[in-house]
């Protein structure tokens, strides 16, 4: 897809702030610091529209990025960052449920995982949570540039096995560094838009 326009519309913390123009949405979920915001930037060819950071916990709100006036990427705050208070975690949980459970224009979720590491308990929980709400899930195995070619297959297999990815759910090797998987990502997303 040729992206000619991309803009942040709102950083929302609750439902009443979500955009109401009924455009389809694609959400990004995953651990803190895994590369969700970087994924968005890579797909839309913008260095830093979605704010990224080497420190975990950069994205704290549901950030709605309107693309070509046609759909939204929704950048969701990450999970699994240890230095988060119980209150913060509960606030996060409520925000997630409110969004994933009730959002009718949400068409698919990209669950971003780090190919270097085995998916965590939190990743498994998130995958199961999304499946529970019967949302289409695409697993994005990012940071592919960080592992040697010879280990790709075994790492991908580990991700699939640990998450127990259901038949029919796609797993996409990706790198925001090299652009690997970008065209494939658009190919997949087009089907939901
Ligand atoms: N080598 C490499 N680094 C990446 C890749 N994707 C993201 N990063 C780096 O990982 C760090 C975190 O990236 P972000 O995109 O901010 O991660 P996030 O998931 O949005 O993080 P939160 O907003 O904190 O949840 C940054 O330093 C990025 O440059 C990738 O594909 N390869
Ligand atoms: Mg982010």
Residues with CB under 5 A from ligand 2 (ion): 37, 58-59
Tell how far the Cα of 115 is from the centroid of ligand 2, in angstroms: 17
Tell me the average pLDDT of the chain.
94
Tell how far the Cα of 24 is from the centroid of ligand 2, in angstroms: 21
Q: Assign 3-class secondary structure to 133-172.
A: CCCCEEEEEECHHHCCHHHHHHHHHHHHHHHCCCCCCEEE
| Beta-sheet pairing, 62-67 with 71-75 | antiparallel
Tell me, in angstroms, the distance from the centre of ligand 1 to residue 40's CA.
10
How far apart are the C-alpha atoms of 86 and 175, rounded to whole Å? Answer: 33
Residue 115 tokens read as 């190919």
- Residue 52 CA to its chain's centroid (Å): 13
* Pair of tokens at residue 180: 């690997």
- pLDDT on residue 72: 98
Please provide the DSSP assignment of 110-130 as one string: EEEEETTS---HHHHHHHHHH
Report pLDDT for 48. 83
* 63-118: pLDDT as tens digits: 999 999 999 999 998 998 877 788 888 888 899 999 999 999 999 999 999 999 99
């Amino acid at each position: 897809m040729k992206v000619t326009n991309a803009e942040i519309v709102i950083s929302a913390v609750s439902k009443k702030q979500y955009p109401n123009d009924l455009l389809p949405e694609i959400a990004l979920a995953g651990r803190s610091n895994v590369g969700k915001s970087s994924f968005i930037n890579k797909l839309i060819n913008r260095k830093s529209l979605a704010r990224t950071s080497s420190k975990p916990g950069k994205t704290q709100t549901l950030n709605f990025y309107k693309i070509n006036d046609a759909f939204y990427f929704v950048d969701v705050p990450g999970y699994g960052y240890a230095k988060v208070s119980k209150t913060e975690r509960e606030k996060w949980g409520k925000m997630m449920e409110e969004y994933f459970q009730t959002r009718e224009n949400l068409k698919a979720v990209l669950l971003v995982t780090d190919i270097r590491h085995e998916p965590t308990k939190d990743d498994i929980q998130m995958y199961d949570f999304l499946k529970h709400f019967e949302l289409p899930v695409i697993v994005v195995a990012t940071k592919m540039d960080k592992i040697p070619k010879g280990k790709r297959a075994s790492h991908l297999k580990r991700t699939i096995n640990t998450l127990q990815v259901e038949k029919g759910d796609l797993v996409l090797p990706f790198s925001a560094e090299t652009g690997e998987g970008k065209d494939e990502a658009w190919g997949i997303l087009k089907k939901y838009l």
